[in-house]
Amino acid sequence: MSEAKCLDVRGLLCPVPVIRTQQVVRLMAVGERMWIVATDPGVMHDVPAWCRVHGHKVVEQVVERPDYRVLIEVGRRNN
């Protein structure tokens, strides 16, 4: 498996991190992974909720204040 991409959305507030995540995921292949790195703690809930709706998988969540990181894997319903 290739190395995970990284989307830096630090300094941005909801809903922008999820919107940017969706924009990048549209360009990714099934099975690819991406870290979303944010300073808005809302991503810890918003990104997993978005993943459930769109068929992607949350692989890992890490809190290293001030950063919140979510590793996702692109699923079949890549929209």
16-25 and 43-54 helices cross at what angle (nearest 10)? 40
Q: What is the pLDDT of residue 76?
A: 87
Q: What pLDDT tens digit does each residue of the chain (79 aa) get? A: 569 999 999 999 999 999 999 999 999 999 999 999 999 999 999 999 999 999 999 999 999 999 999 999 999 865 5
Q: What is the pLDDT of residue 79?
A: 52
CATH class for the domain made up of 5-73 = alpha beta
Query: Can you tell me the distance from the alpha carbon of 3 to that of 39, in angstroms, rounded to the nearest whole number?
Result: 23
Q: Which residues are catalytic?
A: 14
Query: Can you tell me the distance from the alpha carbon of 52 to that of 43, in angstroms, rounded to the nearest whole number?
Result: 14
Query: Can you tell me the distance from the alpha carbon of 79 to that of 63, in angstroms, rounded to the nearest whole number?
Result: 27
**What global pTM score does this model have?**
0.93
Q: What tokens appear for 22 in the block?
A: 């969706």
Q: What is the pLDDT of residue 59?
A: 98
Domain regions of the chain by residue span: 5-73
